[in-house]
Each structure stands twice: as structure tokens, then as C-alpha cells.
Amino acid sequence: MKIAIVGATGLVGTVMLKVLQERNFPVTELLPVASEKSIGKTLIFKGEELKVIGMKEAIRQKPQVAIFSAGGSTSLEWAPKFAEAGITVIDNSSAWRMDSSKKLIVPEINADILTKEDKIIANPNCSTIQMVAALAPLHRQYGIKRLIISTYQSITGTGAKAVKQYEAEKMGQPLSPSEMAYPHTIFANCLPHCDVFMDNGYTKEEMKLVNETQKILEDPKIRISATAVRVPVLGGHSEAVNVEFENTFDIKDVHDLLEKTPGVTVTDNPQNNEYPMPLTAHGKNDIFVGRIRRDISSDKALNMWIVSDNLRKGAATNAIQIAEYLNTKGIIGK
């Protein structure tokens, strides 16, 4: 299969190349695609040196699938052009997620709704993916009424500029305002500020958790409130999630449900200091869930701690799993 990675030189694009190799995706030809300034640069895939090409050349070469991770404005401009050429686009930006004509996919939950007519498929936000993967089986069993979410999000979710800021601050190196990804120091600090603030006082990141969760779980009645925090961590995103159900539940049954959920690993033995952490989730494709306990203030609520590598399951791995599903079902291919 000929596959294009749009944004191949970025943080997520680099991880996509690793995940394609690790999962033995049937790539016969890989097209690394990036912006004009990166055209002609080289990168290595499966031991082979490949030259980065531009958008027009990628369309001309007609890959079966193009996985985009190059930002919303790029996706809005170019994804339709790829789709018009018959190329299936899996887009990792926020550009198409809430478009009612586009499907928002976490393969373990709703890949079965995809058809050959879906030429632009949206990959959810990283913090949404890891949460809904753990919540979906519980919603089916007990009915989620309300979610209160606090996130602790890795700087890698912002991109390479944020990592450079963190590293410079750690070394005590001065930075100009233009070199900073954040309005404040991130090293040894926490910023209750992910993405831009909106008129309702929430940030875009917080509202993504609201809107995308309702869309993926197909339930606009779920009430959701989120606070998204950027923390000086490289390995992944963490989330403290309070879930209120319509129905009563047993904690052991919740454990059993999660342990049977594909892509979820339960790590919940606090007596032995075993619980999910970004350090141990880093470089892994699973979603890790722990600190599962009944909310002592509400009979029908529980607390969970959910951790995942945001560059993997939160972005690259989820997108490639979508491509794998499309390939297995014959939606894309020869």
C-alpha cells in the first residue's frame, strides 16, 4: 500500500513512522510530505532514505491513504484536495472533528461506522481518545450522566517548540518571547491553560473534551466540565476523571469491564504503589487506568486516573489503527 504521512518531519509525524514499522503496516511505498521549507530534506524509514515531498507531488503520486498531522489550517486547505483525488485522508488536527458530515473515530469504539464513502476521517483530540476508550464500556453498561475532568497534559502535546522551551528553561538558558510556546515558564510550573480561552471562560482544549466525547459516545445528554492543565512532563497525558452514572455499579464489575477492554491496561494496586504514570506509559500504545474507586460523596459516581502516551494512542497509533481497520475491511487497498 502506498501511504503518505503529511507532517512527516513533526513530532507526531516522526512517531507515526515508528508506529508504522512496529505494527508491520503493509507499506509498499511511503511518501513523507511536509511544508515547502522541508521539501528535499531526507528521513529514514525501514532503513531507507526518503526525500520529503510537497502536497501537490503527493497528490500526483496517488497514495491510497494520507495521514495528516500538519495543523488545522493545512488540513482545511489540503484534505479536500486529497479526497477529491480519491485518496482517503485520516486527519489528526481539529479541523474536521465537529463537522457533522465527518466521522470521529476511536477504532475500539466506533470504527464499524466507516464506509468507502468516508474520504476524510477525523482523529479525535489526544486527551479525548484516552478518556473515551476507558469510558465507552462503562457508558454502555451503566449510562454516564456527568463527567468532571482535570487533565495534566504533556508539553509534547504543544509540539517541538514547547519541548525546546522546556529544555532551555531546565538548562537556565534565556529565551526571547518569540522562542516561547507558552506565555509563562513551563519548567517546574503548571499552566491551567491549554489552547486559547473562549468566551465561556473555558479553553478550546476543554471544550474539545466536551464536544468530542458527546459525539464519539453518541450521547449529547452527557454533562461534561473540564479543566485542562499543561504540566512539565514529556511522557504523556494524565487525567483525573469523576464519572457519575445513571445506574448503580459494583467496583469489581468496573474492574472486570476495563480489563476486558481492548487497548486498556488496568494498573490499580495502590497498596503496592502501582498506578498509571506518564513515565511508565511513555512509548507504549495502551491506555492505562488506575485509582478506580467509588466517589464517597455520591453512590452512583466513581473516580478514575487515566494515562496514555499522547503522541502514540493520543495521535499516531490511533490514526494508524484507523488505517489498519480500513485495510482489513477492504475500504482502502489495492
| Residue range 94-137, pLDDT digits in tens | 999 999 999 999 999 999 999 999 999 999 999 999 999 999 99
Average pLDDT score over the chain = 97
Catalytic-role residue among 139, 237, 255, 282: 237
Grid cell for residue 265: 491496561
Residue 237 annotated as catalytic: yes
Residue 126 annotated as catalytic: yes
Q: What residue segments make up the domains of the chain, in order of their start?
A: 2-123+315-328, 127-309
pLDDT at residue 170 in the model = 97
2-123+315-328 to CATH, choices 3.30.420.40, 3.40.50.2300, 1.10.10.60, 3.40.50.720: 3.40.50.720
CATH topology of domain 127-309: Dihydrodipicolinate Reductase; domain 2 (3.30.360)
How far the first Cα of the chain sits from its last, in Å, is 7
The H-assigned helical ranges of 143-232 are 160-170, 204-216
Rg (CA), the chain: 20
Q: How many beta carbons lie within 10 A of that of residue 193, not counting itself?
A: 15
Catalytic-role residue among 126, 139, 194, 282: 126
The yes-or-no verdict on residue 334 having pLDDT over 60 is no
What long-range pairs does 166-169 form, CB within 8 A, spacing at least 24? 166/232, 166/234
pLDDT digits 0-9 by tens, 43-54 = 999 999 999 999
What are the percentages of helix, strand and coil residues in the chain, rounded to 5? 35, 25, 40
